[in-house]
């Protein structure tokens, strides 16, 4: 990540961001680079560190990642009227990942100040019990919970009559809703109906677009049908059929609900406070490369926020990082763009800080096409970056460095640290919108292979409890993904 020093002079604090004003670090000469059509390329020694090894990496799920998997109510319970001594039943359903648990609650008085209490043992999506006359007027609701949050249904009222009601045909009071779930996840359809006597129910399915329906064998006779969805079931339609022997027709079906099953999601992403993207590991890497478009950063008035987009070797499982990339920052509310390279952990190269390319000789702007690579042969590292939209040739530098583990390869969006004599703290992540990394390859031996050819891990950036940035799934070929800034 960027690490910017703040020096104290008297009572004034001065933020040294020399990359912005084109100055070399005190006591360090600006190195000469290759000649471009803008003139001799210049390198500016700055006090920033880009590509600092990722921080606070945890297995997915150990830190909150927003409410994307929180329960969402699909169907709620309906008011029910039964005779004393008859069965009363309330049903509800909710989506969520992981699958939410459920607890039914009851309030025995509508008087102001009456409190809800949990119904002992009522932890299924359908709560059935024998109603007594004293329970008439009781109100019921279901509360769904998972680790991302909770959701509560509306309230349903129980009316218990003391005289036997007249027989009545089933009347649908709750229709099943269409669902979209990932393969291997739980799908759930719920329905409800009134009638005297209380109707029974069975579920059936259509595999031909609703032309014909067939009951499940063995029969599914609960008002909620829950199962693990597979890709082959995508497009199936489901309905519940209620009957109590009264009415014409005797069988009363609900409307149809359609199941859509998507491909199974990737494994939960790793979590980091400063990285978002992908990392390959469990191999010895000799090269990494990719292309991307410099994103347009959105700045608010007076805002200071930062983002770096890079490829590199090491840092995921080791303490050095060898990389190059671009920046899209907000400096006092104005967009700022540049290119850089860095050998974090090699004090011989600008004390381990980034080497920023001059914005005069190697200008960068949003929308520019970037191609970058990092490779090593023996102890010689070659770092190359090319803004093909503006430069006539790539900037390339060779550095001798011994001690890198070569244990990982990365394609990353990162936020920096701000440092003073009192220590360092992470800065705000600039709103970079999105960055698409393409043609992303890593090499162990032979030619480069896609990200998915190795043991790869998706990494999302968190500022607990919020997600700041996260990567999409890899493309079918494993060489492309989109990294997305997240609004808080």
Instruction: Give the right CATH number for 3-60+269-485 from 1.10.760.10, 2.60.120.380, 3.30.300.30, 2.60.120.700.
Output: 2.60.120.700
- The strand pair at 409-414 and 308-313 is best described as antiparallel
For 55, other C-beta atoms within 10 Å of its C-beta total: 13
Tell me: pLDDT of 321 over 80.
yes
Domain chopping of the chain, boundaries: 3-60+269-485, 66-165, 166-265
- The strand pair at 149-152 and 369-377 is best described as unpaired
Nearest Cα neighbor of 389 from 251, 292, 283 is 292
Give residue 27's pLDDT band: very low, low, confident or very high (50, 70, 90).
very low
Give residue 223's pLDDT band: very low, low, confident or very high (50, 70, 90).
very high
**Adjacent-strand bridge partners of 463:** 466
pLDDT (tens digit per residue) in 246-261? 989 899 999 999 998 8
- In degrees, rounded to 5, the angle at the alpha carbon of residue 344 between the alpha carbons of residues 29 and 397 is 55
pLDDT (tens digit per residue) in 437-484? 999 999 998 888 999 889 899 999 998 888 999 998 888 788 999 999
Q: Are 1 and 9 in contact (CB under 8 A)?
A: no
Tell me: pLDDT of 37 over 70.
no
Separation of CA 263 from chain center: 16
Nearest Cα neighbor of 416 from 297, 307, 300, 295 is 307
CATH topology of domain 166-265: Immunoglobulin-like (2.60.40)
pTM: 0.54
pLDDT of residue 230: 86
- Exposed, middle or buried: residue 378 (CB in 10 Å: 0-12, 13-18, 19+)? exposed
H/E segment holding residue 90: strand 87-91
Q: Which CATH class is domain 66-165?
A: mainly beta
H/E segment holding residue 311: strand 308-313
Tell me: pLDDT of 30 over 80.
no
Give residue 411's pLDDT band: very low, low, confident or very high (50, 70, 90).
very high
pLDDT (tens digit per residue) in 108-167? 876 666 789 999 999 999 999 999 999 999 999 999 998 888 999 999 999 998 877 789
Q: Do domains 3-60+269-485 and 66-165 have the same CATH topology?
A: no
């Amino acid at each position: 990540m960027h690490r910017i020093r703040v020096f104290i002079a008297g009572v004034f604090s001065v933020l040294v961001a020399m990359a912005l004003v084109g100055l070399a670090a005190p006591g360090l000469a600006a190195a000469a680079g290759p000649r471009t059509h803008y003139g001799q390329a210049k390198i500016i020694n700055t006090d920033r560190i880009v590509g600092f090894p990722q921080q606070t990496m945890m297995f997915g799920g150990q830190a909150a990642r927003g409410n994307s998997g929180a329960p969402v109510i699909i169907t709620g319970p309906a008011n029910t009227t039964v005779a004393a001594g008859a069965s009363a039943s309330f049903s509800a359903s909710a989506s969520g990942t992981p699958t939410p648990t459920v607890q039914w609650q009851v309030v025995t008085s509508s008087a102001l100040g009456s409190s809800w209490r949990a119904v002992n043992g009522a932890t299924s999506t359908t709560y059935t019990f024998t109603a007594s006359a004293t329970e008439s007027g009781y109100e019921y609701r279901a509360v769904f919970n998972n680790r991302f949050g909770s959701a509560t249904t509306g309230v349903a009222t129980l009316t218990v009559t003391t005289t036997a009601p007249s027989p009545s045909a089933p009347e649908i009071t709750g229709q099943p809703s269409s669902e979209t779930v990932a393969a291997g996840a739980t799908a759930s359809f719920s329905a409800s109906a009134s009638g005297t006597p209380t109707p029974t129910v069975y579920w059936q399915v259509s595999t031909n677009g609703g032309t014909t329906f067939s009951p499940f064998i063995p029969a599914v006779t609960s008002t909620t049908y829950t199962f693990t969805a597979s890709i082959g079931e995508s497009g199936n339609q489901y309905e519940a059929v209620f009957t109590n022997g009264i009415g014409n027709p005797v069988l009363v079906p609900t409307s149809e609900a359609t199941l859509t099953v998507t491909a199974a999601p990737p494994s939960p992403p790793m979590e980091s406070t400063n990285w978002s993207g992908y990392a390959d590991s469990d191999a010895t890497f000799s090269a990494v490369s990719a292309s991307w478009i410099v994103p347009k950063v959105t700045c608010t008035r007076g805002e200071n926020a930062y983002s770096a987009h890079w490829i590199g070797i090491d840092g995921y499982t080791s303490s050095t990082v060898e990389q190059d990339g671009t920046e899209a920052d907000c400096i006092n509310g104005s967009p700022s763009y540049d290119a850089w390279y860095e050998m974090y952990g090699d004090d011989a190269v600008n004390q381990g800080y980034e080497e920023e390319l001059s914005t005069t000789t190697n200008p960068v702007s949003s929308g520019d096409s970037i191609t970058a690579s990092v490779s090593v042969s023996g102890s010689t590292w070659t770092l190359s970056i090319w803004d093909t939209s503006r430069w006539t040739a790539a900037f390339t530098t060779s550095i001798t460095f011994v001690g890198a583990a070569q244990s990982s390869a990365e394609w990353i969006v990162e936020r920096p640290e701000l440092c003073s004599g009192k220590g360092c703290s992470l800065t705000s992540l600039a709103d970079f919108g999105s960055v698409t990394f393409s043609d992303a390859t890593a090499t162990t031996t032979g030619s480069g292979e896609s990200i998915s050819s190795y043991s790869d891990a998706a990494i999302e950036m968190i500022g607990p409890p919020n997600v700041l940035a996260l990567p999409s799934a890899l493309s079918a070929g494993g060489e492309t993904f989109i990294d997305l800034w997240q609004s808080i």
